[in-house]
């Protein structure tokens, strides 16, 4: 066996799955963790937690693979993406599709190990959303909203895993994630706006036009407003709302970075959303640790 060649191929697969750029995993993971802790009243089943963490890594990786497959002809015209393995011809389309299928099957096997019928059924639309999102950039004016549903579908699945049902708060939390995804992915899209205009891909940064910064801040506000309303209805207290307040402060910092619409500050703001998701999660964790009570 040619080990150097095998290592080179595995390195290419790693780049295709973007394991070298974990920001996508984190942006997918934080909302799932919000849901896992809220649905379990601060006492999640740790087996469920590990299954969802592994599933998040697998499905984000699969999503990156199918995204590059869908965009392989567009990416060669974008400076930032023209050297991606599939676009550069270092990985074939058959390899990419096989990798996507393999990752999806492993993720589905994890779901089966939970033995929860509702979670199994919910995994079907979850896979469809992940696989179809890249193609929405051809016809949806704001494909980032679709991304928010795809990235947040771990929320109803988390509630189903713990409760055997999906209550209304799960869908509200999913809606909050949609607004958050539109905000951070518009920041991301602002980096590639000129290239996307040339090749004809639709993004929220193009759709919002000169109102892009205002739209991002409104989406941030909607995110916090919905999550705050959920916390209010669940009678959560100061630790939870402190987390939201810190998240609001971070979002305010993002405004100072994106208002000039310069590529690198916008990209910096996008990456920095990891901290938004984290402080909201820490607020939820702290709520149950400090209050020492269950909900209801």
Share of the chain above pLDDT 90, in %: 75
* Predicted confidence (pLDDT) per residue in 71-109, tens digit: 777 666 666 666 778 887 788 889 999 999 999 999 999
- The span from the CA of 258 to the CA of 155, in Å, is 29
Question: Cα(227)–Cα(240) distance, rounded to whole angstroms?
Answer: 10
Least confident of 66-75, 80-89, 192-201: 80-89
Domains of the chain plus CATH, in order, are 9-291 (1.10.357.140)
Of 23, 33, 27, whose CA–CA distance to 53 is shortest?
33
pLDDT tops 90 at residue 288: yes
Model confidence band, residue 295 (pLDDT cutoffs 50, 70, 90): very low
Q: Choose from 24-38, 63-77, 186-200 the range with maximum mean pLDDT.
A: 24-38
pLDDT band at 207 (very low <50, low <70, confident <90, very high): very high
Q: How confident is the model at residue 296 (pLDDT cuts 50, 70, 90)?
A: very low
Contact 289, 42 (CB under 8 A): yes
Cα dihedral angle (140, 248, 190, 180), rounded to 10 degrees? Answer: -20
**Beta carbons of 189 and 142 less than 8 angstroms apart:** no
Label each residue of 152-174 as H, E or C: HCHHHHHHHHHHCCCCHHHHHHH
Q: Give the pTM.
A: 0.93
The sign one gets for the Cα dihedral 91, 94, 95, 101 is positive
């Amino acid at each position: 066996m040619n080990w150097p060649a095998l290592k080179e191929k595995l390195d290419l697969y790693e780049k295709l799955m973007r394991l070298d750029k974990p920001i996508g995993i984190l942006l997918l993971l934080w909302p799932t963790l919000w849901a896992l802790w809220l649905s379990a009243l601060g006492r999640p089943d740790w087996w469920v937690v590990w299954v969802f963490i592994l599933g998040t890594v697998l499905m984000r990786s699969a999503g990156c693979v199918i995204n590059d497959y869908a965009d392989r002809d567009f990416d060669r015209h974008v400076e930032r993406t023209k050297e991606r393995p599939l676009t550069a011809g270092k990985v074939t389309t058959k390899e990419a599709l096989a990798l996507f299928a393999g990752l999806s099957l492993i993720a589905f096997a994890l779901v089966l190990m939970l033995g929860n019928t509702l979670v199994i059924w919910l995994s079907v639309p979850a896979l469809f959303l992940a696989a179809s999102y890249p193609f929405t950039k051809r016809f949806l004016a704001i494909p980032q909203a679709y991304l928010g549903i795809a990235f947040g579908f771990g929320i109803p699945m988390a509630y189903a895993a713990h409760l055997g049902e999906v209550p209304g708060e799960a869908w509200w939390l999913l809606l909050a994630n949609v607004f958050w995804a539109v905000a951070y992915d518009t920041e991301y899209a602002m980096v590639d706006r000129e290239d996307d205009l040339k090749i004809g891909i639709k993004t929220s940064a193009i759709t919002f036009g000169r109102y892009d910064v205002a739209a991002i801040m409104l989406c941030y506000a909607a995110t916090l407003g919905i999550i705050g309303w959920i916390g209010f209805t669940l009678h959560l207290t100061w630790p939870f709302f402190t987390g939201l307040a810190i998240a609001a402060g971070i979002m305010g910092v993002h405004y100072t970075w994106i208002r000039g619409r310069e590529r690198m500050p916008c990209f910096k703001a996008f990456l920095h959303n990891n901290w938004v998701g984290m402080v909201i999660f820490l607020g939820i964790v702290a709520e149950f640790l400090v209050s020492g009570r269950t909900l209801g």
